[in-house]
Amino acid sequence: MAFLYSDSNKRYHTLDYFYKHKFNSKVFKVSLNGGFTCPNIDGTKGIGGCIYCKGGSGEFGGNPKDNLVKQFNEVKNMISKKWPNSKYIAYFQANTNTYAKVEVLKEKYEAVLNLPNVVGINIATRADAITDECLDYLEELSKKTYLTVELGLQTIHESTSNLINRCHTLKEFHDMVISLRKRNINVVVHIINGLPYETKDMMIETVKYLNNLDIQGIKIHMLSVVKDTVLAKMYMENPFHILTKEEYIDIVCNQLEYLRPEIVINRITGDPNKEDLIEPNWLVKKFCVLNDIDKEMKKRNIYQGDKIKEMN
């Protein structure tokens, strides 16, 4: 049988498929750095950020020294040489992109929204950094463009969350998903496989939990141990198990079976900076990991959402 949300060999609902069918065009996300910080970096909730972050998330965002239009155009100009008729999503990636007064958010978001061929905006943030006033503005924004709010969760397990210094609760996350969906705002959730001391069952439990929420997409990352982080120091002093490529693929294949087919898999592996990476080395070969996931799903003859059908 063919998978409902695929026109290729993919057995899960890819972001490429979703964009192509929604916008009838090739769509690229352009990563931007709006110069934000995080409440668990600046001392509001915690200090130092999550233990795996090197000075904040979104290392592939633009240069914060450049204004947002310049950041955007530098990427767009490279892409348009190969795909001249593309459309674009402005992706506020670096750090917590709702962590400012609404007037500041408006200035930053709307600087890029009116650029040619920008069809939407993705805003990466935390569940504890969206005020009621911000929610009102996001609802207003969602009526002007294709808006997606990306919420970092990483794990549902509070012991792990405390270990990695997330500094927000599962309840805060759950309540924010409900608040965003009440306003018809699309939600994509980030999770990380391979967090210290988590088992395969714990990682699958995170996905099962998310499948029961009204989310539109998920990003599955593999934990990267990178230089100059608290995680790197922890790993060097007391090494914990790093998932092998085979273990990661096995877990992801299992997770996909517990996700509703309509949930868009926005990402299915990590994308670390090779120069900073300590472990795992196999993560730098992104396309090998993607291909091996495809091969394993074919070998098992499984598709996204298969386990849900069994439970029903």
CATH of the domain at 118: 3.20.20.70
- For residue 152, give its domain range: 15-311
In this structure, of 59-73, 144-158, 169-183, the range with the lowest mean pLDDT score is 59-73
User: Does residue 278 sit within a domain?
Assistant: yes
Kindly indicate the confidence band of residue 56, based on its pLDDT and cuts at 50, 70 and 90. low
**Amino acid sitting at position 237:** E
Q: How confident is the model at residue 64 (pLDDT cuts 50, 70, 90)?
A: confident
pLDDT for the residue numbered 213: 97
Q: Sorting pLDDT into bands at 50, 70 and 90, what band is 53?
A: confident
pLDDT of residue 82: 85
Averaged over 302-311, what is the pLDDT? 86
The pLDDT value recorded for residue 65 is 76
User: Per the domain annotation, does 192 fall within a domain?
Assistant: yes
Count other C-beta atoms under 10 Å from residue 216's C-beta: 17
pLDDT at 61: 63
- What confidence tier does 84 reach under pLDDT thresholds 50, 70, 90? confident
What 3-state class would DSSP assign to 292? Answer: helix
For 107-165, give the DSSP string.
HHHHHHHTSTTEEEEEEEE-GGG--HHHHHHHHHHHTTSEEEEEEEEE-S-HHHHHHTT
Residue 81, domain member (yes or no): yes
Q: Is the pLDDT of residue 76 over 70?
A: yes
Mean pLDDT, to the nearest integer, of 89-102?
92
Per-residue pLDDT at 174:
97
pLDDT 10s digits, 195-216: 999 999 999 999 999 999 999 9
Question: How many structural domains compose the chain?
Answer: 1
User: Does residue 202 lie within any of the structural domains?
Assistant: yes
- Asked if the model's pLDDT at residue 192 lies above 80, the reply is yes
pLDDT at 80: 83
- Residue 310: pLDDT above 80? no
Check residue 59 and give its pLDDT: 57
Q: How confident is the model at residue 139 (pLDDT cuts 50, 70, 90)?
A: very high
Classify residue 104 by its DSSP letter: H
Rg of the Cα trace of the chain?
Answer: 19
pTM to 2 decimals? 0.94
| Per-residue pLDDT, 54 | 78
| Of 259, 150, 269, nearest in space to 208 by CA | 259
24 or 48: which leads in pLDDT = 24
5 inside domain: no
Question: Per the domain annotation, does 54 fall within a domain?
Answer: yes
Asked if residue 251 is part of any domain, the answer here is yes
Predicted confidence (pLDDT) at residue 312 exceeds the cutoff of 60: no
Question: Tell me, what's the pLDDT at 75?
Answer: 87
Whole-angstrom Cα distance, residue 188 to residue 214? 10
Decide if 3 is inside a domain: no
